[in-house]
């Protein structure tokens, strides 16, 4: 029977699979792996005092064994733990939702600025919509930034994703002013909200072309993250966005703002399509690596 300490087992596991782990989990150091394992153990109510000195016997019932089995399949760490850090909080994630990305935090920062501008020029309750909310990470992070009440709406075409967003809203409700609200709506883009008006609309929609862009998608992403969150059909890609832009334009107040994340190779073209809908200004903005990453449009 194997009776190594968990620390020795983890060290050996890391050394024996260093290339595989580097490919599957870029930048994962041995220390970070141990930190993740400790967090995971804590969540599973394993006693973590002297965790790495304790004896480890692999077994089907041991949650630690599940952790290492998942690593062997290159399963994303966030799905293993069921949690992902984003902006100022930790969000629940399941394989039904995209793991929120660092670059999307820029979208939150910019949308906070857009909402702040409205709070400076209007005493009305500001109404904000997030299209394709997934885990709810964007809209919940935004709500956390305002003491003044915000009326927020978020849509998704995945019922499973909306359940995760609901759970995150419940878990993080104490970080949001009591007077603010979040309505989660199951619909295609914003179809069931066509009679509503918003000051700011944000979105991180699926934006990878299913065929054209697929070869550039990391294997781990393609294998485990929901395709509904990632891909759109090549043939109807532009039309999908034109339809979205029309719905957004129709539902913004005058001078209302739209901020959308997109694919660096397609944003210039989408910005032209957006301009044709009748927005007064449309800009393409870059992320911290200077890649085209967002469209900002004003009605
Ligand atoms: C790229 S993910 C973004 C998730 C989350 N907003 C984030 O930034 O982490 C896109 C989301 O849009 C949803 N989605 C895909 N097609 C949609 C549609 N037609 N209408 C509404 N939501 C859609 C997916 O289910 C997914 O949750």
CATH code, 247: 3.40.50.150
Quick one: pLDDT at residue 2?
52
CA of 64 to the centre of ligand 1 (A): 32
Mean pLDDT of 12-31: 94
Note whether 14 and 135 are same-domain residues.
Answer: no
pLDDT over 90 at 92, yes or no: yes
289 vs 137, 204, 208, CA distance in Å? 22, 18, 19
pLDDT over 70 at 127, yes or no: yes
Number of domains in the chain: 2
CA of 204 to the centre of ligand 1 (A): 7
Note whether 58 and 157 are same-domain residues.
Answer: no
Domain assignment of residue 238, yes or no: yes
pLDDT over 70 at 198, yes or no: yes
Lowest-confidence segment of 38-52, 113-127, 203-217 by average pLDDT:
38-52
pLDDT bucket at 148, cuts 50 / 70 / 90:
very high
Tens-place pLDDT, residues 216-254: 999 999 999 999 999 999 999 999 999 999 999 999 999
16 lines ligand 1 (CB under 6 A): no
Note whether 27 and 165 are same-domain residues.
Answer: no
CA of 202 to the centre of ligand 1 (A): 11
Domain assignment of residue 89, yes or no: no
Note whether 195 and 265 are same-domain residues.
Answer: yes
Mean pLDDT of 110-131: 97
Note whether 67 and 107 are same-domain residues.
Answer: no
Note whether 230 and 172 are same-domain residues.
Answer: yes
pLDDT bucket at 45, cuts 50 / 70 / 90:
confident
150 lines ligand 1 (CB under 6 A): no
Higher pLDDT, 45 or 132: 132
Nearest atom (ligand 1) to Cα of 207? 1
Mean pLDDT of 264-273: 98
Note whether 238 and 137 are same-domain residues.
Answer: yes
Structure tokens at 194: 């066509």
pLDDT over 60 at 41, yes or no: yes
Domain assignment of residue 106, yes or no: yes
Quick one: pLDDT at residue 284?
98
Residue whose Cα lies nearest atom 7 of ligand 1: it is 100
pLDDT over 70 at 90, yes or no: yes
136 lines ligand 1 (CB under 6 A): no
Note whether 217 and 169 are same-domain residues.
Answer: yes
Quick one: pLDDT at residue 1?
47
Domain assignment of residue 46, yes or no: yes
pLDDT over 90 at 46, yes or no: no
Mean pLDDT of 270-292: 96
Mean pLDDT of 12-18: 96
Note whether 115 and 235 are same-domain residues.
Answer: yes
Domain assignment of residue 85, yes or no: no
Q: What are the backbone dihedrals phi and psi of residue 235, each rounded to the nearest 5 degrees, phi first?
A: -65, -35
Note whether 127 and 29 are same-domain residues.
Answer: no
Q: What's this model's pTM, rounded to 2 decimal places?
A: 0.95
Note whether 193 and 276 are same-domain residues.
Answer: yes
Q: What is the mean pLDDT of the chain?
A: 96
Rounded to an integer, what distance in angstroms lies between the CA atom of residue 166 and that of residue 214?
31
pLDDT over 70 at 175, yes or no: yes
Note whether 68 and 125 are same-domain residues.
Answer: no
Structure tokens at 23: 């490919």
Where in the sequence is the domain holding 247, given as residue range(s)? 97-298
Quick one: pLDDT at residue 48?
85
CA of 298 to the centre of ligand 1 (A): 22
Quick one: pLDDT at residue 291?
96
Residue whose Cα lies nearest atom 9 of ligand 1: it is 100
Rounded to an integer, what distance in angstroms lies between the CA atom of residue 177 and that of residue 61?
42
Query: What percent of the chain has pLDDT above 70?
Result: 99
Mean pLDDT of 199-207: 98
228 lines ligand 1 (CB under 6 A): yes
Mean pLDDT of 267-286: 97
Domain assignment of residue 187, yes or no: yes
């Amino acid at each position: 029977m194997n009776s190594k300490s968990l620390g020795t087992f983890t060290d050996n596991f890391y050394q024996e699979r260093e290339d595989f782990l580097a490919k599957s989990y870029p930048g994962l150091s041995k220390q970070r792996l141990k930190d993740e394992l400790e967090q995971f153990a804590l969540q599973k109510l394993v006693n973590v005092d002297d965790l790495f000195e304790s004896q480890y016997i692999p077994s089907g019932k041991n949650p630690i064994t599940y952790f290492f089995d998942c690593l062997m399949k290159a399963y994303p760490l966030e799905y293993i733990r069921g949690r992902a850090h984003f902006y100022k909080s930790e969000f629940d994630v399941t394989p039904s939702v995209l793991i929120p990305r660092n670059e999307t935090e820029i979208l939150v920062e910019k949308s906070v600025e857009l909402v702040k501008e409205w709070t400076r020029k209007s005493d009305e309750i500001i109404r904000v919509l997030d299209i394709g909310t997934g885990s709810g990470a964007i809209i919940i992070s935004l709500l956390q930034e305002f003491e003044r009440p915000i009326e927020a709406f978020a849509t998704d075409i995945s019922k499973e994703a909306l359940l995760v967003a609901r759970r995150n809203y419940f878990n993080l409700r104490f970080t949001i002013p009591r007077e603010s609200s979040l309505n989660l709506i199951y619909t295609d883009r914003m179809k069931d909200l066509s009679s509503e008006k918003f000051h700011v609309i944000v979105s991180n929609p699926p934006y990878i072309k299913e065929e054209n862009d697929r070869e550039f998608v990391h294997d781990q992403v393609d294998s485990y993250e929901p395709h509904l969150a990632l891909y759109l059909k090549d043939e109807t890609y532009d039309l999908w966005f034109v339809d979205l832009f029309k719905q957004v334009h129709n539902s913004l107040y005058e001078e209302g703002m739209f901020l959308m994340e997109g694919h660096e190779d397609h944003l210039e073209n989408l910005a032209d399509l957006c301009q044709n809908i009748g927005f007064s200004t449309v800009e393409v903005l870059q992320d911290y690596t200077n890649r085209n990453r967002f469209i900002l449009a004003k009605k």
